[in-house]
Amino acid sequence: MRLSRRLTLGASMLAVAVLAVACSTGGGSKPTVKVGSVGFDEARIMAEAYAQVLEANGYTVDRNGIGLGDRKVLLPALESGQIDVQPEYIGSGLGAGYGGTPTGDPAANQKALQEILTGKGGGITVLDYTPAQDQNAFVIRKDTADQLQLTKMSDVAAVQGQLKLGLAKDCPTNPLCAGALKDAYGIDTTAATLLDACSTPMADALKSKTIDLGELCSTQPDIIVNNFVLLQDDKQTQPADNISPLVRNDFLAKTDKTAFSKLLNDFSAKVDTATLADLYKQVSVDKKDIKDVVSTFLKAQGLVK
């Protein structure tokens, strides 16, 4: 009886010890993760990929935040805990989101953004960024480029009175948009039509001549499909915009931080610029379902079964 009692007591103490270790390391538990993104297709693709990778590894995913709104909506949602993880364009996030000074060096942008986010919303971690880079791009139709002899943004100021501008909805308050165009190029944006940047509506407005100059993303397939001319940002106003997952620290504390981070980092490592542009084209031009496009890619890369 004494032996039996000792074994029982020993097993109980072992269970308590294991539980204590689990609690101290996040426990390896897999709580529901709330994934969010801004509204345009490319960001939604990245967010959906995070969701599918996490689901394939035992997490329950709340997708209500995907496509939630622009950065001025999404960043407060992340800081408040309305969402737990989102894809962020680290140059734009640093500059437009938090008033930092982004550069053409993604590692420097990541480091600077991390320094800021450590003190936001109880702490937010910037995970590894993709090899893919998608910069803000200003494009025009080829007929307009030929007629006005436009090849770079410095050419625009002299003929801006002949152009209808289409810019991002947050352009008036975004230093990388209104501020940069005015300060670097002398372009007045006050009369611009405001649309979602990097969106099909922006490309359609350019194609239909509702606008003459539009703000798209450099990986956006509409540029190739419509033979648009991408104007050189010769004053280098736009930052390196590789994409990193931003994750709340309080969420990471509830799970196995190392394993969780590796899942998203392994996915990010597979996304180069050509891949990102192709995924984007399949959704925005070929009109394929985002979930199907993402699932096919992840399976091909061996990231999910």
- Higher pLDDT, residue 148 or 8: 148
Residue 236's pLDDT is: 85
Is residue 74 exposed (0-12), middle (13-18) or buried (19+ Cβ within 10 Å)?
buried
Residue corresponding to tokens 């993709």: 130
CATH code of the domain made up of 24-133+241-300: 3.40.190.10
Residue 12's pLDDT is: 43
Q: Is the separation of the CB atoms in 229 and 202 below 8 Å? A: no
Check for a shared fold between 24-133+241-300 and 136-230: yes
Angle at 147 between CA 141 and CA 153, to 5 degrees: 65
Mean pLDDT throughout 75-100? Answer: 95
Residue in 132, 179, 181 with CA at minimum distance from that of residue 156:
181
Kindly tell me if the per-residue pLDDT of 11 is higher than 80.
no
User: Radius of gyration of the chain from Cα atoms?
Assistant: 23
Q: pLDDT, tens digit, for every residue of 106-129?
A: 999 999 999 999 999 999 999 999
- pLDDT level of residue 224 (50, 70, 90 thresholds): confident
Give exposure, 204-221, as e/b (b: 16+ Cβ within 10 Å): ebbbeeebbbbbbbbbbb
Kindly tell me if the per-residue pLDDT of 4 is higher than 90.
no
Give exposure, 259-284, as e/b (b: 16+ Cβ within 10 Å): ebbebbeebbebbeeebbbebbbbbb
The residues near 202 (Cβ < 8 Å, ≥ 6 apart) are: 166, 195, 196, 211, 214, 215, 216
Kindly tell me if the per-residue pLDDT of 199 is higher than 90.
no
As a whole number of angstroms, the distance between CA 286 and CA 106 comes to 30
Residue 27's pLDDT is: 56
Q: pLDDT, tens digit, for every residue of 49-77?
A: 999 999 999 999 999 999 999 999 999 99
pTM of the model: 0.74
Q: What are the residue boundaries of the structural domains of the chain, listed by start?
A: 24-133+241-300, 136-230
Dihedral of the alpha carbons of 100, 105, 111, 114, in degrees to the nearest 10: 50
Indicate the length of the chain as a whole number: 305
Q: pLDDT, tens digit, for every residue of 28-42?
A: 689 999 999 999 899
Strands ordered across the beta sheet of 193-195: 193-195, 165-168, 213-217, 136-140, 229-230
Residue corresponding to tokens 């938090």: 98
Alpha carbons within 13 angstroms on the beta-carbon side of residue 98 total: 23
Relative orientation angle of helices 41-56 and 273-284, to the nearest 10 degrees: 100
Q: pLDDT, tens digit, for every residue of 252-285?
A: 999 999 999 999 999 999 999 889 989 999 998 8
Residue 12 one-letter amino acid:
S
DSSP state of 35: E
CATH code of the domain made up of 136-230: 3.40.190.120
- pLDDT level of residue 178 (50, 70, 90 thresholds): very high
Kindly tell me if the per-residue pLDDT of 8 is higher than 90.
no
Mean pLDDT throughout 14-22? Answer: 41
Share of the chain above pLDDT 90, in %: 77
